Amino acid sequence: MIFDLLFCGDRVRFPEGDGVLPDAAPVGVLCASAVREADPDAVPPEIRTRSGEIVFVTSVLRAELERFCSDNGIPLRSRPDVWGDLLEPFLDTEFDHRTRAATLDRLAAAGVGATEADAIRQRVGPLMAAYNSVHQDWFHLGLADLLDAARSGLVPAELRIPAGELRAFRTWATEIASRPDRLS
């Protein structure tokens, strides 16, 4: 889920009435001290919490996120877009052999080998194909899209991740997005 946040001093407030708040903000407030780093240039911009969660921020708030980080001494860090590479086959675009090989090279550098990438793509493929048949995105699908698809009413119910499994699915997907951390 991409949040339309309110940045207030050393806190981030989430919109009221949204029942899918991150664990790091159980009452709808995330303190700057709970933020490990942020990437305003990610698609969409993201906040990474000390507990390992990723909070997606609407791109219209990119400047506010940068200001919040600057004011609170939160480091900015650009990371490899592991899910962007994993979900590339589900874009409404054709890629040549060279582009596909470069994608696999980036995934390998992030700790996801070709065999595992294929297994991950098989696991999420039906979900993402259904999701992108509605969105028809040709530019980028990433972790935010995967998590949106997992519970989207635009995807047939039998392809969605069951409510009782969403937390585990999110944890699995976030762990994959965080793989480059383990390599450094």
- Kindly report the number of other CB atoms within 10 A of residue 91's CB atom: 18
Please list, residue by residue across 131-167, b when 16 or more beta carbons sit within 10 angstroms of its beta carbon and e when fewer do.
bbeebeeeeebbbbbbbbbbbbeebeeebbbeeeeee
The label of the residue with tokens 């790091």 reads 24
**2-71 is a CATH 2.30.29 domain:** yes
Average pLDDT of the residues in 101-121 = 96
Q: Are 58 and 97 in contact (CB under 8 A)?
A: no
Is residue 26 pLDDT above 90, yes or no? Answer: no
Is residue 46 pLDDT above 90, yes or no? Answer: yes
pLDDT of residue 56: 94
Q: What are phi and psi of 48, to 5 degrees?
A: -110, 125
Q: Are 32 and 74 in contact (CB under 8 A)?
A: yes
Highest mean pLDDT among 16-30, 84-98, 117-131: 117-131
Q: Where in the chain is the domain with CATH 2.30.29?
A: 2-71
Is residue 42 pLDDT above 60, yes or no? Answer: yes
Could you report the per-residue pLDDT of 7-19, keeping only the tens digit for each? 999 999 998 865 5
Could you report the per-residue pLDDT of 86-96, keeping only the tens digit for each? 999 998 778 88
3-state secondary structure at position 29: strand
- Kindly report the number of other CB atoms within 10 A of residue 94's CB atom: 7
What global pTM score does this model have? 0.89
pLDDT of residue 114: 96
